[in-house]
Amino acid sequence: MNRLQDKVAIITGGASGIGKATAIRFAEEGARVAVWDISEEKGLALATELSEAMASRHAGREGHSGAWHSSETNGRDVATVPYCRFYKVNTARLAEVEAAAAAVVEDFGQIDILINNAGITRDATMRKMTSEQWQSVIDVNLTGVWHCTKAVAPYMLERNYGRIISAASVVGLYGNFGQTNYAATKAGVIGMTKVWAREFGRKGITANAIAPGFIATEMMATIPEKVLQMMEDKAPAGRLGQPEEVASAYLFLASDEAAFINGITLSVDGGLTL
């Protein structure tokens, strides 16, 4: 399928976990992908992998050159538009984000989709949480989302089209022991999403959020098996979610099929919050 044909998507935190699964899924659906991450090694490897896979796929289609069909290429040779490119970006730093957004427009010609996926955890109970643990999570999970949207929205407004989709969490909806900082950021993302839906809705830009539950990513690898089993038992689905399942939620909200969905938070949690 080509649900994102000729679209350009920025995926923050795109080098691993849910972000990587989303980059792969979007490329499979026809999007050109800009991977933003602080991990240069993983990001470059993914960009190379996706570029080679997509070039091979398009070259193998009879009568299909893999050419870019969008009219918004800023006068560039369409054959030079990459399938995937990595940008080393710390979303907590506005100057880096603004420079990366400008680079994406230079490289791809446009920005259609922003996936605010980057996030970190620094868990501790309220009494033990340090100011550094609090601030580091705020800087990436909340301020970073604001930075990315602030930098990208002007390009979307110029074209009267865009999809802004941000990662919230079930923790932002219901709280969780030992995650004051994380819960605060994810609740904040939900609030910002509602504001952006109101501010940008008449400009052809939608803003939505997803709220994943317990997902089997690299971050879960440090959790003891007993705790993981408790998580699985708690969800009616009886298992952890897979990154690809969250990627599918991102895909739907990024597609034109979701054009009339604006300002929602979609739970992807196997029924955990019932």
Domain of 194: which CATH number? 3.40.50.720
Q: Is residue 59 part of a domain?
A: yes
59-89 pLDDT tens trace: 766 444 444 555 455 555 556 789 999 999 9
Give residue 176's pLDDT.
87
Residues of the chain above pLDDT 70, percent: 90
Phi/psi at 18 (nearest 5 deg)? -60, -40
Determine the average pLDDT of the residues in 202-218: 94
Domain range for 237 is 8-268
Q: Looking at the domain assignment, is residue 17 inside a domain?
A: yes
Mean pLDDT calculated for residue range 234-256: 93
d(CA 143, CA 91): 8
Q: Does 223 map to a domain?
A: yes
273 in any annotated domain: no
Buried b (16+ CB within 10 A) or exposed e, 148-159: bbebbbebbeee
Tally of domains in the chain: 1
Q: Are 135 and 100 in contact (CB under 8 A)?
A: no
C-alpha distance from residue 87 to each of 10, 99, 107, 153, 257 (Å): 10, 10, 11, 18, 29
The crossing angle, in degrees rounded to 10, of helices 40-59 and 17-28 is 20
Q: Does 260 map to a domain? A: yes
Question: Which of 62-71, 86-95, 130-139, 165-174 is predicted least confidently?
Answer: 62-71
What is the torsion angle, in degrees rounded to the nearest 10, for the CA atoms of residue 136, residue 84, residue 214 and residue 274? Answer: 110
H helix runs in the chain, sequence order:
17-28, 40-59, 94-108, 131-137, 144-159, 170-174, 180-200, 225-234, 243-254
Scanning the structure block, which residue is given the tokens 């920025």? 10
pTM: 0.92
Residues known to be catalytic: 182
In a domain, 236, yes or no: yes
Distance, in Å, from the CA atom of 19 to the CA atom of 13, rounded to the nearest integer, reads 5
Output the six-digit token pair for 190.
Answer: 């939900």
The answer to whether position 81 is within a domain reads: yes
Q: Is residue 2 part of a domain?
A: no
